[in-house]
């Protein structure tokens, strides 16, 4: 790892998996893994936040929610606010994950409102962007990424982190090649240079997500604009998750 490289960040997005016992066991095994060469954040589903917050206490592992409602409180059945996330021990939140965009029809503008709400509560939004298979095949990848990023970032140039998650690679076992991922990450960083400034863009961590596993992580992280991962399936197994995180420290 070159001395100037951004410190890697690895998120574990547990999606709608685990009950409290699983979460507790995961944390025990994971925390026994010792010092790690990356920052780590776990994104459990809402009913697990209290358990995971307690299990992670005193550790350096961060905690995040998988979604946020733009409002602080009110008649929004099934939703969770930034105030509630902070109260549950979160410092991060996912905004615009493709499963939210697809399953819940979340628009680019709603993603922006969520990022704004996150910042209001001091939560770091991890903004997810990515194209579908059809959009890639139609040569529209960059257009989609630019639209999603510009919409989200009218939230302001404050603290945020970005994840590139090509939808065709999520949960499919079909990872983007390191070259494809690097091309998208470099494109996103170029946009950040334009939208923020050179220094801020260089400091931003851009994570890759989509079928990351202990076998493909080292080659992906060797690419200059990949600064870590947002891991789904493999983040449910503490040993696999640890192996992915450790691969961020190798010089491969």
Interface with ligand 13P (CB under 6 A): 13, 97, 165, 170-171, 209-212, 230-234
Nearer residue to ligand 13P within complex by CB, 84 or 216: 216
Beta strands in 157-198 (DSSP E): 161-164
In the complex, least distance from residue 15 CB atom to ligand 13P, rounded to whole angstroms: 7
Active-site option among 69, 97, 99, 185 = 97
In the complex, least distance from residue 73 CB atom to ligand 13P, rounded to whole angstroms: 27
- Decide if 165 is catalytic: yes
**Cβ–Cβ < 8 Å for 226, 185:** yes
- Decide if 97 is catalytic: yes
Residue 249, both tokens: 């420290």
Share of the chain residues as helix, strand and coil, in percent rounded to the nearest 5: 45, 15, 40
CA distance 107 to 160: 19
> For residue 149, which of 196, 99, 182 has the smallest C-alpha distance?
196
Nearer residue to ligand 13P within complex by CB, 74 or 160: 160
Distances (CA, A) of 73 to 84, 98, 155: 9, 25, 20
Nearer residue to ligand 13P within complex by CB, 97 or 136: 97
Nearer residue to ligand 13P within complex by CB, 210 or 238: 210
| Nearest-CB residue for ligand 13P | 232
In the complex, least distance from residue 161 CB atom to ligand 13P, rounded to whole angstroms: 13
In the complex, least distance from residue 154 CB atom to ligand 13P, rounded to whole angstroms: 23
CA distance 118 to 124: 6
User: Which residues are annotated as catalytic?
Assistant: 97, 165
């Amino acid at each position: 790892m070159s001395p100037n490289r951004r410190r890697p960040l690895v998120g574990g997005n547990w999606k709608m998996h685990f009950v409290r016992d699983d979460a507790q066991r995961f944390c025990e095994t994971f925390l026994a893994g010792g010092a790690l060469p990356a920052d780590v954040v776990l994104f459990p589903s809402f009913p697990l936040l209290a358990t995971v917050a307690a299990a992670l206490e005193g550790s350096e592992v961060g905690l995040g929610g998988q979604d946020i409602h733009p409002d602080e409180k009110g008649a929004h059945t099934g939703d969770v606010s930034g105030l509630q996330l902070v109260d549950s021990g979160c410092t991060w939140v996912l905004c615009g994950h493709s499963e939210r965009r697809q399953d819940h029809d979340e628009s680019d503008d709603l993603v922006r409102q969520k990022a704004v709400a996150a910042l209001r509560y001091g939560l770091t939004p991890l903004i997810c962007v990515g194209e579908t298979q059809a959009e890639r095949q139609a040569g529209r990848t960059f257009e989609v990424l630019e639209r999603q990023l510009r919409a989200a970032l009218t939230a302001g140039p404050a603290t945020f982190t970005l994840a590139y998650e090509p939808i065709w690679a999520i949960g499919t076992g079909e990872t983007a090649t390191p070259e494809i991922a690097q091309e998208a990450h470099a494109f996103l960083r170029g946009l950040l240079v334009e939208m923020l400034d050179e220094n801020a863009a260089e400091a931003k961590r851009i994570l890759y997500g989509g079928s990351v596993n202990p076998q493909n992580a080292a080659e992906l992280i060797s690419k200059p604009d990949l600064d870590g991962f947002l891991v789904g399936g493999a983040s449910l197994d503490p040993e696999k998750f640890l192996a992915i995180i450790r691969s961020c420290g190798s010089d491969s």
